Amino acid sequence: MSALAHRESGNGPALVLLHAFPLDGRMWRRQLDTFGVDHRVIAPDAFGFGQSPLPASGWTMDSMAEAVAALLDGLRIREPVILGGLSMGGYIALAFAKRFPERLSGLILADTRADADSPVAKSTRDETIAFVEANSVATQFEKMLPNMFSSAGSEGSRYARELAAEQCIDGTVAALHALRDRADSVAALRSFDFPTLVLVGREDAITPKAVSEVMAKELKRAKLEVIPDAGHLSNLDAPDAFDAAVQKWLNGSAARGP
């Protein structure tokens, strides 16, 4: 399987950030700067997004987790990393945590959920697949936008719109299949033994606060942070508050060492 494209900044303990659907690793541009001061921040593009190739088959959360592990191997990062994912990135981070717990010193689950798609959500995915195939990723993202941000027209929403418009239909459709078919990770949460930051925008309409509260309860070593005035894409919607919450957790003893 081909290597994932990525961008990185800084030196120090590795902090890997996995992006949301249907964007790419550039959605972390601000966090690459903020946390690059004392971390090696690595933001890959998922299969078929940004500059990462789309494999002929096999886009699943598990194959993405393996590709992230291969990326770390390629970068000669052998020590445990802090892995963060927002929404779809969180699903991949959960798959990674299940397969490679020994490679984690901490986990950040932002605006995401551990449960699989319900039958209703699966059939909505099928409708979205048909819509994207008949239209464009940009048109699909316009439909999603009101649920992505706490208010319209912010700099973050303009940037997300730009990124979505650059994604290709094939990669987006393959990801939608992977989102629809992803495994449930709820039971696995109880086995995680590393510090986890569960973070959610108070206005998140896609993975609401209650979902994060349930995840935090299931985890042994979780810290829950609710970002005021932020919707689903909380790192773009309220970047100052998002970065402050992550920084506080990184500075805290909970994030130090397994």
Binding site residues, ligand MLT, CB under 6 A:
20-21, 87-88, 179, 206, 232
Measured from the CB atom, the residue of 80 and 201 that comes closer to ligand MLT is: 201
Residue 21 carries which side chain, given as an amino acid letter? F
**What's phi and psi for 95, nearest 5 deg?**
-65, -40
The DSSP-derived string for 45-93 is PPTTSTTPPPPSS---HHHHHHHHHHHHHHTT--S-EEEEEETHHHHHH
Q: Taking the complex as a whole, how short is the minimal distance between the CB of residue 113 and ligand MLT, in angstroms?
A: 8
Measured from the CB atom, the residue of 13 and 25 that comes closer to ligand MLT is: 25
Distance, CA of 257 to CA of 147 (rounded, Å): 36
Q: Which residues, listed in sequence order, are joined to residue 86 by a DSSP beta bridge?
A: 110
Q: Taking the complex as a whole, how short is the minimal distance between the CB of residue 217 and ligand MLT, in angstroms?
A: 21
Measured from the CB atom, the residue of 227 and 255 that comes closer to ligand MLT is: 227
Widest CA span of the chain, in angstroms?
Answer: 50
Measured from the CB atom, the residue of 230 and 255 that comes closer to ligand MLT is: 230
Q: Taking the complex as a whole, how short is the minimal distance between the CB of residue 92 and ligand MLT, in angstroms?
A: 10
Residue 237: HSE in the Cβ half-sphere, 13 Å Cα cutoff: 24
Measured from the CB atom, the residue of 77 and 144 that comes closer to ligand MLT is: 144
Measured from the CB atom, the residue of 43 and 255 that comes closer to ligand MLT is: 43
**Count of residues for the chain?**
258
Residue 129 carries which side chain, given as an amino acid letter? I
Q: How crowded is residue 152: how many other Cβ atoms within 10 Å of its Cβ? A: 10
Distance, CA of 139 to CA of 213 (rounded, Å): 32
Query: 3-class SS at 175?
Result: helix
Q: Taking the complex as a whole, how short is the minimal distance between the CB of residue 256 and ligand MLT, in angstroms?
A: 29
- Mention every residue, 6+ apart, whose C-beta is less than 8 A from residue 37: 10
Q: Taking the complex as a whole, how short is the minimal distance between the CB of residue 149 and ligand MLT, in angstroms?
A: 12
Measured from the CB atom, the residue of 35 and 91 that comes closer to ligand MLT is: 91
Q: Taking the complex as a whole, how short is the minimal distance between the CB of residue 179 and ligand MLT, in angstroms?
A: 5
The Cα angle at residue 141 between residues 138 and 144, in degrees rounded to 5: 165
Q: Taking the complex as a whole, how short is the minimal distance between the CB of residue 201 and ligand MLT, in angstroms?
A: 11
Q: Taking the complex as a whole, how short is the minimal distance between the CB of residue 145 and ligand MLT, in angstroms?
A: 11
Measured from the CB atom, the residue of 9 and 234 that comes closer to ligand MLT is: 234
The Cα angle at residue 145 between residues 246 and 68, in degrees rounded to 5: 45
